[in-house]
A and B are shown apart, each in its own frame.
Chain A
Amino acid sequence: MSASLEPIARAADAPRSPDGALRRYLAANRAAVGTFAVFVVMIGIFMIASPRVFLNWPIYNSVLVTLPVALCLVVPLVFVVTVGEIDLSFPATMGFSAWIFALVVHAGYDPFLAILAALLTGMALGVGVGALVVIANLSSLIATLGMNFMLRGFIMIVTQGKSIALLELQDTTAGSLLSGEWGGVPVQIFWALGFVAFAALLFNRHRFGARVHAVGDNPDSAGQMGINVARVRIATYVFMGLGAALAGVFSTMVNYTWWPTTGDGYLLPAIASVFVGGTPTWGGTGTIVGGAIGALIVSFIQSGVVAAGLSGFYVQFFNGLIIILSLLGHRWNQKRYR
């Protein structure tokens, strides 16, 4: 019997995966969707554990006051991590920019001019940090750690640890625009959500975001395709500086006082939020919306644990638990392609 050289006819072509827009959206946003699931479960547990607190508005209101500051830090940090670097200097950048803001306001200038000065300061510091990492070719982990200490030290040396009260801001347009309430909701959250939306657009639908992904994924390939790798990397630090400056202005506006320690407490929570949100550590992919939800989760843990009737001693433990569980979830949910 002679063997046929004809290929065996295929019974049916491989089934084509449905190409629906919703499915595509979910596939492209796996990490963010997973993070949102974690958030829903967590709030569910809190509601069951202490319904009296979590079925009423005040707890959410208090989170909405602190959340904007975190969002302004977490969102640009997703860019830095996606490009394959890290930034530990943003707390000092935040304090420094807010300091410039406080000084300009205190000198009697228009608050909006002060905000502009703060934003420019943050971006200039971003250029400096970025140049250290990209041009001087230092490890971003160590170089930015050094910058954080150095900038904070500089603030302390010059101010001798003294804070600046800005009560004159209370009844200004800037004050009501940036720290009042609209319909019972803290106004900062609207600005912060606008910033998140802008960043998400930049990240997912803009040339810059596409290049951040490419450089973080494979800098050699990106360079060979004509992308200016150094410029893209520095630009992520500049964006981080902008976000840190915004965070600094918002946190100063909360109680109209600039502290020389402004920003210090945000280092670890902001970094944790990025990774809880589903941005992996290796670069090339990330999620802005996931990072924002990560910030929400981290902000809720503290108030949630205390409101649930546990002592403050439990906060750190639950912080850690949520971080580890989230990372395990993302590990299972996301595959790393090489």
Chain B
Amino acid sequence: MPERLIELRDIAKSYGRVFAVGGVNFHVDRGEVVGLIGDNGAGKSTLIKMLAGAIQPTSGQILVRGKAEPNWNAARSRDAGIETVFQDRALCVQQTIVRNIFMGRELTTWLGLLDPARERREAERLMREIGFTSKVFSPDSIVGQLSGGERQGVALARAIYNKADLIVMDEPTTALSLTETEKVFRFVRTVRAGGRSVLFIGHNIHHVFDIAERFVVMDRGRVALQATKAEVGTAERLIAFMEKLAHPDGIASFDSSHVDAGAAA
């Protein structure tokens, strides 16, 4: 059995009396690509923000390689080998590509002095590795000058630099062109081939179905389904399940509400 990389036990997050995530059990093993899907407001982003340490869970436990992590935060998460490509990409647009790639983990020589030559070299290598190369931009280009796809490239380059065990990608293909989406897919396959894990969050179920080998469906802050690709069978069956979640009683509920409204009038 592959190593259990990360496990969330009964994780909950509430804002006041509103539950964003209510008691979720969830895990990612080494070397697997997990697809996390769910409607808007299902709690996907909240879940991965807790995984990234950007927000603190209200209750529950986070285990990394079987060990409980009581003081979980963004720095700990990265140290534990989890890199997150956030939906908004978490870039600083007035800074250079180099500064964004090494944000929070600058390459230094002594006394905390930066090592710009090494950072530039590594940035160039990373950009080449993920195929987001350009003749116009250099590692010293300001991120604000880049297109959406190129910015995504910077976020991906940052995620692979530290050879993270798990790369979490929150809606990485939203607002990307076809070729850019293909690049993201190729990126996921490369990471997977290197024996590392990917948690892929997406709206487009066909995208997620293509790329992932196990699926976690969230609905209103809870896990509604965990199934492997073999168990699910086809993307259409997954979509049908999602539709049933959104409209539990199908047409009937529409009819009854219609009747109720008519009776009240």
Contact = CB atoms under 8 A, between A and B. Distances in A.
B252 interface: no
A306 interface: no
A265 interface: no
A222 B103 CA distance: 7
Contacts of A214: 92, 95, 99, 103-104
A14 to B, nearest CB: 5
A52 interface: no
A206 B104 contact: no
B136 to A, nearest CB: 5
B138 to A, nearest CB: 6
A225 B90 contact: yes
A211 B112 CA distance: 12
Interface string B80-111: 00001010101111110001001111101001
B93 A338 contact: yes
Given A14-B136, A337-B142, A218 B104 contact: no
B102 to A, nearest CB: 8
Contacts of A14: 135-136
A148 interface: no
A214 B135 CA distance: 26
Interface string B128-145: 000000011010101111
B77 interface: yes
A223 B106 CA distance: 15
Interface string A155-181: 000000000000000000000000000
B152 to A, nearest CB: 14
Interface in A183-217: 201, 205-208, 210-211, 213-214, 217
B52 interface: yes
B66 interface: no
B103 A225 contact: yes
A94 B143 CA distance: 38
Given A28-B140, A205-B114, A210 B74 contact: no
B75 A337 contact: no
Interface residues of B, number: 39
Interface string A13-53: 11011010000100010000000000000000000000000
Interface centre among A206, A210, A213, A228 (most CB of B within 10 A): A210
B93 A226 contact: no
Nearest to A213: B95
Interface string B43-68: 00000000011100000000000000
B106 A285 contact: no
Contacts of A228: 75
A285 B111 CA distance: 23
Nearest to A217: B92
Interface in A228-243: 228
A16 B104 contact: no
Given A222-B104, A338-B144, A17 B114 contact: no
A284 interface: yes
B113 interface: yes
Given A19-B138, A225-B78, A337 B114 contact: no
A221 interface: yes
Contacts of A211: 104, 106
B74 to A, nearest CB: 4
A224 interface: yes
Contacts of A205: 113-114, 116
A119 B145 CA distance: 42
A110 interface: no
B21 to A, nearest CB: 18
Contacts of A17: 136
Contacts of A16: 135-136
Contacts of B108: 207
Interface centre among B86, B94, B105, B138 (most CB of A within 10 A): B94
A104 interface: no
A228 B78 CA distance: 13
A221 B103 contact: yes
Interface centre among B53, B92, B99, B103 (most CB of A within 10 A): B92
A227 interface: yes
B197 to A, nearest CB: 20
A218 B135 contact: no
A199 to B, nearest CB: 14
B82 to A, nearest CB: 11
Contacts of A285: 94
B93 A227 contact: no
Contact of B74 (A13, A218, A223, A338): A223
What are the nearest 7 A-B pairs in CB distance? A337-B144, A225-B104, A226-B75, A217-B92, A221-B90, A284-B94, A207-B112
Interface of A: 13-14, 16-17, 19, 24, 28, 201, 205-208, 210-211, 213-214, 217-218, 220-228, 284-285, 336-338
8 contacts: A213-B92, A214-B104, A217-B94, A218-B91, A221-B91, A225-B74, A225-B90, A285-B94
Interface of B: 52-54, 73-75, 77-79, 84, 86, 88, 90-95, 99, 102-106, 108, 111-114, 116, 135-136, 138, 140, 142-145, 158
Given A206-B111, A285-B94, A338-B144, 20 more contacts: A13-B135, A16-B135, A205-B114, A206-B112, A206-B114, A208-B112, A217-B92, A218-B93, A221-B86, A221-B103, A222-B103, A224-B54, A224-B86, A225-B74, A225-B103, A226-B53, A226-B75, A226-B78, A226-B104, A337-B93
